[in-house]
Structure 1
């Protein structure tokens, strides 16, 4: 059975059961107060035959029968006094009128002269009439009129005037209408509640069902929107989060698969070039092309150089894979940055001068500046950047400049060259593996395409960053930042802005 059907049945039970209980309770009250169910019809009679007090009603019925049999009783003052005494406890009294003269009036009626002065005229013999409520001094009165005649056909009228409760009067008069209205209100209330709860519960559940069907069919490109914040809404929010994470996971899986294919293609391309060269030179030796010792020596040197390129590529790939999988351990130690940069820059200057490259350094870091790093891996970052700069030099006077300074809690190192620069569309991808600005992947530029990708992995492992800025035909700036573990030696970096 569906939840919607359960809700409908439960609300129907909440409606039907109270109605049945009301009916049963009403029947029991009728039996208790009226004696049996035969008098049930009396509940729906007009107020022409009912009074506010049961004793008054009984007296009226007895008096009407007596007057019809013996009208002379109304001339018996003793009899009328007895009736007045009985009616007094019920806030009722009698008035007897013969012709146009009132011959008897209960003492309680003296208090309401306006009521007794405006009594209706004689109607007809044996007529019985009950008149609507009359107001007098913030009180309500109802009176019954009995018309009779004496033996000489003289007209006489008996009035029984009773003080009534207006609330009970109107309840008795409009009881069927009130009962039906109550039933209608109950039905309408339960219908509205059912519709509201169906909207608040069933509709979100249907949305969840449709969302689950979409996921089952493999469609994750949708958004589940549930506005409520109740338990159903919380379930919808959790479901939407699950869908979003699942979609992200599948997208990542697809991206990983694409990267894997690209990696295999890149490795195959970069390994095939030296392998082809090696195979060609080996074939030349075997075919006797290298028929002199000089040619044989040249062929062997070429084979050795290509083998070294392959070994270097494999090592780079192996290192990048371990860094990417977080399996490459870092042997971190606290190092004074200034001596490290001085030693490295001196060695670098010596190597660059042999290639005709001008090297300039501007190190503005004090001696006490300490960073936490793995020296071997950090030097690899620096060397990869320098190798990349050297590879793309095209100016008559190539230059490389190192600027180091402190800014807040970071040690900043900027390596600037005046090489060919990088195209704007390629600048955002230079730290990706196997990416080369030279899309032809020619042997002229060399490189594995992993140098800057490895540098980024190492810098992130140190809690630092690596960024690049470049202008085509002007040059490139690679910026490294490392967190300083000691606040000593930090200097104002206002001078650094001059560069």
Structure 2
């Protein structure tokens, strides 16, 4: 992205809200659709003129049958009331001589309305003849049974809306649950040792980030396992090589000492030659054991026993770096110094820092071209003390081989002291840069300096 901002993560919370909104809209849509279709069906079928007339005829027929069975007259209000109460979704108006004679419904009989209304006051109604003991009456039937159907449509629409909402949420929940189960199974396989199982994140939510984290963990474990395997193979190779290399000078050393101890020499000069040869083999053993110790420093799992102490950087560098420069000059190297004024305090282990400088000097003696100058830079900047050493690489180093163990020891030491160790090599130049955190000098030290 051009603005440098990271894309917003579509979190599970946002997805849940979006799913709920979609489910709500779908539920509202299914509710409106069901309600509209249901009401249209009621209006078209149940509320048609033919259907209403058929229901009214059935109601009148039921009342006529009831009246004949009990030989009712319009004055038998108690019996008529019983029938009316049983008809919970209709009521009936009886007119005689076009005047309201009786009104009966689910509430019973309304006697106060008798004679107050005229049939002529009603508009667009159908009358049905009803025969009672005291004459013929005109019946007007009002049927409101459709209210139950409308209520049923409403309940059905609400139920379908709830089902639709639940379906959306179940689908979302199933997707999340399935993703969690898949991640759990993959983690279990990794825990069982299947480090070759590659996890692929899909989506851009927390589950995708969890998958990426698990995949990163798998790669890290796999990398460490490979490194441990390589270290084990190197250790085995080293042990085999060291055993062979140590056996030869040790056998020779024991042989020369045995000759000397058993008196198998013809002159003191011959015995001296045995001792010199034994001493040479002992030096070879020391070199091999030193190499083994340096290897253990680099590849050992434990940290070095470094004890940090505060030192005046100027005094310490003047002593340690100066000693190394004098030693190199004695061996014929030309040193170009660029030492800036230093006024700070550093935390370090002097003995281990001396080992770093000794390794650098030893590296120069092995691989630097003595005909070219060695550049040494000391500077204090950006809260750090920097020591930079650069040399020209020897074109034909002969039989000298490098396994870089000394440089790895330097890197490990500097890292544990809170500093850095950087090496950079070009076609003909090798440069090492050391840095350590610099702290201001104490007041007493400033006054002394």
TM-score (norm 2): 0.61
Q: Is the 8 A contact 1:357 1:399 kept in 2?
A: yes
1:57-81: CA deviation from partner (whole Å, max 9, x where unpaired)? 7999269957xx999999965x955
**CA displacement at 1:90 relative to structure 2:** 6.8
Q: Which residue of 2 aligns with 1:83?
A: 102
1:259 matched to 2:231? The reply is yes
2:424 to 464, 469, 481: 469
Q: Which residue of 2 aligns with 1:145?
A: 127
Whole-Å separation in 2 of the counterparts to 1:179 and 1:343 = 95
Whole-Å separation in 2 of the counterparts to 1:247 and 1:263 = 24
Greater relative contact order (Cα < 8 A, sep 6+): 2
**Structure 1 runs not aligned, ≥5 long:** 1-45, 52-56, 95-104, 119-142, 150-155, 423-437, 490-499
Q: Is the 8 A contact 2:419 2:435 kept in 1?
A: yes
Seen in structure 2, the aligned counterparts of structure 1 residues 354 and 216 have a Cα distance that, compared at 3 Å, is: closer
1:362 to 329, 338, 341: 338
**CA displacement at 1:160 relative to structure 2:** 1.9
TM-score (norm 1): 0.56
**Structure 2 runs not aligned, ≥5 long:** 1-50, 76-93, 444-449
Q: Is the 8 A contact 2:95 2:119 kept in 1?
A: no
- Name the SS of the counterpart of 2:407 in structure 1: helix
**CA displacement at 1:334 relative to structure 2:** 1.7
Map 1:269-284 to 2 at 5 A: 269=241, 272-273=244-245, 275-277=247-249, 279-280=251-252
- Name the SS of the counterpart of 1:218 in structure 2: coil
1:349-408: CA deviation from partner (whole Å, max 9, x where unpaired)? 443333222223222133x3221212121111111101101111345x243232101111
Q: Which residue of 2 aligns with 1:136?
A: none
1:399 matched to 2:399? The reply is no
Map 1:118-267 to 2 at 5 A: 143-147=125-129, 158=138, 160=140, 162=142, 168=144, 170-172=146-148, 194-202=170-178, 204-205=180-181, 208-209=184-185, 212-213=188-189, 216=192, 218-223=194-199, 225=201, 237=210, 241=213, 244-245=216-217, 248-266=220-238
1:351 matched to 2:327? The reply is yes
Whole-Å separation in 2 of the counterparts to 1:260 and 1:468 = 26
Q: Is the 8 A contact 1:465 1:480 kept in 2?
A: yes
Whole-Å separation in 1 of the counterparts to 2:216 and 2:385 = 39
Q: Which has the larger radius of gyration?
A: 1
Q: Which residue of 2 aligns with 1:430?
A: none
**CA displacement at 1:453 relative to structure 2:** 1.8
- Name the SS of the counterpart of 1:107 in structure 2: coil
1:383 to 317, 341, 358: 358
**CA displacement at 1:157 relative to structure 2:** 8.6
- Name the SS of the counterpart of 1:484 in structure 2: strand
**CA displacement at 1:466 relative to structure 2:** 1.1
Seen in structure 2, the aligned counterparts of structure 1 residues 182 and 47 have a Cα distance that, compared at 3 Å, is: farther
Whole-Å separation in 1 of the counterparts to 2:218 and 2:200 = 14
Whole-Å separation in 2 of the counterparts to 1:294 and 1:91 = 156
| Mean Cα deviation higher: 80-89 or 207-216 | 80-89
1:296-336: CA deviation from partner (whole Å, max 9, x where unpaired)? 64564354244234324424543663574445422322212
Task: Compute the RMSD of aligned alpha carbons.
Answer: 5.2
- Name the SS of the counterpart of 1:171 in structure 2: helix
2:412 to 412, 435, 457: 457
Aligned residues: 363
Map 1:315-334 to 2 at 5 A: 315=290, 317-318=292-293, 321=296, 324-326=300-302, 328-334=304-310
1:223-278: CA deviation from partner (whole Å, max 9, x where unpaired)? 16476979xx59x93x8756754653354133123213213423543564465356
